[in-house]
Amino acid sequence: MGLDPASSKEKNYFTLLAFLFSAMTAFIGLLLWFTIRETLMITLTFLSFNHWKLSAVDNFSFVILGIGWLILVYFSFYYYKKGFKEGLGWSKILLLTGVQSLLFFTCKITMISTGLVTGITNILVAAAECFVGIGFIYYAKRRNKERNTDIHLPS
């Protein structure tokens, strides 16, 4: 038994979309990887962490964040592909991007609270990251709720 050509094209289209959006998530994740690492190292330096241990913490954090990034790439492809099949692809993209935005916000707030990053520009960027993250997550959850509450009456 062969596959229906229309469903095969649709499956290929969803796979392509999942690949493209997981590449976007991977790029944002790569930026996040280095941002988290930089925030960790600057915070440890600010807290007068033993400078002999900083090199080890830096190397281990690089490896652990790299493994996390690789998991994110594989997970996002699977998550997006499944989402597009279920008709929830856009809400899943918004949800994952919103979480990434909130992680950027957390790093920025950490840097601001230590006093190492100052200025109104950084505060406005942190506020924008927070609002974008919360907005994306809220909109994704609302779309999921609307999708799950649709009632289809038989004709």
Residue 89 lies in a domain: yes
Q: Residue 113 domain-assigned?
A: yes
Mean pLDDT confidence for 19-32: 94
Residue 126 pLDDT grade (very low, low, confident, very high; cuts 50, 70, 90): very high
Residue 121 domain-assigned (yes or no):
yes
Please state, in angstroms and rounded to a whole number, the distance separating the CA atoms of residues 71 and 69: 5
pLDDT higher than threshold 60 for residue 45: yes
Whether residue 1 is contained in a domain is answered as no
> Is 45 part of any domain?
yes
Q: 57: domain range?
A: 11-145
On the question of pLDDT at 36 being above 80, the answer is yes
Dist. CA 35–CA 132, nearest whole Å: 18
| Domains identified in the chain, total number | 1
User: Is the residue at 3 inside a domain?
Assistant: no
pLDDT at 3: 54
Q: What is the pLDDT of residue 153?
A: 44
Q: How far apart are CA 94 and CA 20, in angstroms?
A: 14
